[in-house]
Amino acid sequence: MCGIVGIVAQRPVNQALYDALTVLQHRGQDAAGISTEHAGTLYSRKALGLVRDVFQERHMLRLKGNMGIGHTRYPTAGCSSSSEAQPFYVNSPYGICLAHNGNLTNATELKELLVNHDRRHLNTGSDTEALLNVFADELQRQDGAELTPRGVFAAVAGVHRRCRGGYAVVAMILGHGIVAFRDPNGIRPVCLGQREGAEGTEYMVASESVAMDALDFRLVGDIAPGEAVYIEASGRLHRQQCGGPRSYTPCIFEFVYFARPDSIIDRISVYKSRLRMGERLAEKILRERPQHDIDVVIPIPDSSRTSALEVAHRLGVKYREGFIKNRYIGRTFIMPGQALRRQSVRRKLNAIDLEFRDKNVLLVDDSIVRGTTSRQIIEMAREAGARRVYFASASPPVRFPNVYGIDMPVTGELVASGRTDAEVAGFIGADWLVYQDLDDLVRAVRYDNGDIAEFDTSCFSGHYVTGDVTPAYLARLESERCDAARAQREPVVDDSHDDDSAGVDEFPSRPRAGVA
């Protein structure tokens, strides 16, 4: 999962892009990048690390221009390398800089066609670079000497014809404007915001609406499945449906885990959806254990807090914060490598003994993926003196990999794959385990938006909405994504971009007098 942002303004955008990326930091902690354009020159800074570490004052001062894009990344199938930090850039046509959230399911075939048929060079294994080159190739095919909104939308339509999977994209065409578009299934989110200033109207696109709130942009709405938005450098906005939406099936895991609770995605409040997850989970607990002996409900911070609060309320028991989180440790789900995830749990969480001692505790988490983190947390609860430890998941069992941009483990590494609920409870050490039902999860999320008939629930149901995910594809994915394979290919970290001599790269989009 990644975070993307793009801004066209009447003033310098470097600080606004930085601020937006800090708000979207939860979507990726592996690398960050910003690219801006001024007087025909592209200024770019990207490197491994958190936003606050990648951008120092000297970098910010050199990111000139009133138009730019940014990205926070975590690796999906690739390795943790600065060469795959985004945005990516190609100099023809016009000079295009692009950032992307998601995953292309036909990336391998695309790369072969780009290299062998279109004669384009690919420098990394990233599907973002492939997507950028497809967009560049489609723009190159457009008639006329001048770039027009019609030509931009025709190029986006070409991308939709050639690319499959889940993707939300923001691209900057130097000297012209910013383009943002979303896959025809609407799997990955992206929204549009507007701000009126003394100098004129300014526009922003971002993965989540919370980035709009932080910068005082008014949320205009979501970019629809298959739709593209083109914002000219002058500030003129164009919108067009380019892909003919195949379905409206946003990823439900955004609401379960990834998105911030204060975001609105596809006209659905993430916070309210998590409250309703808690309501339905409590109803199931009462059905299965009407005479329960739960003394206290404790969330696993942070994303399960909202659901846990409603569970406690519906059960009529105390809600307590039993774990204190070290906020300087990253989200373990998106850390590369099982060893790092395992090491970080006890550094990240510390139990308050008073809330556990001699109590029957219900721990509530948003999901159970590998199960190893859940097992360690249950051990911590017992060490803190809990009499019994029950565990509730606000989402159903995760039995299948996600192929649309979430770095979910392969099937063999998912604790629920091939196990009953009782067997999972035994693995994680819980006295009792309850999962949310899939139908209840869908109803909890869909409540605010009747336009959405279904969601991408592939990691729970095994149904992949793009219709092109085959057993052979999943087998190949397993060979690329498993922790053992990653450990073998993990590179020596390239620190060249973090050296004091490394600053902001400048790329003239075309020869200009006086430009370095």
* Catalytic residue set: 2
The encoded tokens of residue 293 equal 């002996």
Q: Which helix (H) or strand (E) element contains residue 68?
A: strand 67-73
The residue assigned the tokens 């990048």 is 33
Tell me if 335 sits within 8 A of 344, measured CB to CB. yes
Helix/strand/coil (H/E/C) assignment for every residue in 110-141: HHHHHHHCCCCCCCCCCHHHHHHHHHHHHHHC
How far, CA to CA in Å, does 188 sit from each of 104, 455, 515?
A: 11, 11, 38
Q: C-alpha angle with apex 451: 445 to 453, nearest 5 degrees? A: 65
Task: Report the C-alpha gap between 343 and 320 in whole angstroms.
Answer: 26
What are the residues whose beta carbons fall under 8 Å from the beta carbon of 97, sequence distance 6 or more?
A: 35, 37, 42, 44, 69, 87, 88, 89, 171, 172, 174
Residue 438 phi/psi, 5-degree rounding, is -60, -45
Tell me if 136 sits within 8 A of 174, measured CB to CB. no
**DSSP string covering 303-363:** TTHHHHHHHHHHHT-EE---EEE-TTS--GGGSSSHHHHHHHHHHHEEE-GGGTTT-EEEE
Task: Report the C-alpha gap between 221 and 184 in whole angstroms.
Answer: 17
Task: Report the C-alpha gap between 304 and 306 in whole angstroms.
Answer: 6
**DSSP string covering 408-440:** PPPGGG-TTTT--HHHHHHHHT-SEEEE--HHH
Task: Report the C-alpha gap between 100 and 71 in whole angstroms.
Answer: 8
What is the CB-side half-sphere exposure of residue 413 using CA atoms within 13 A?
21
Beta bridge partners of 231: 178, 237
Nearest to 336 by CA among 489, 145, 110, 209: 489
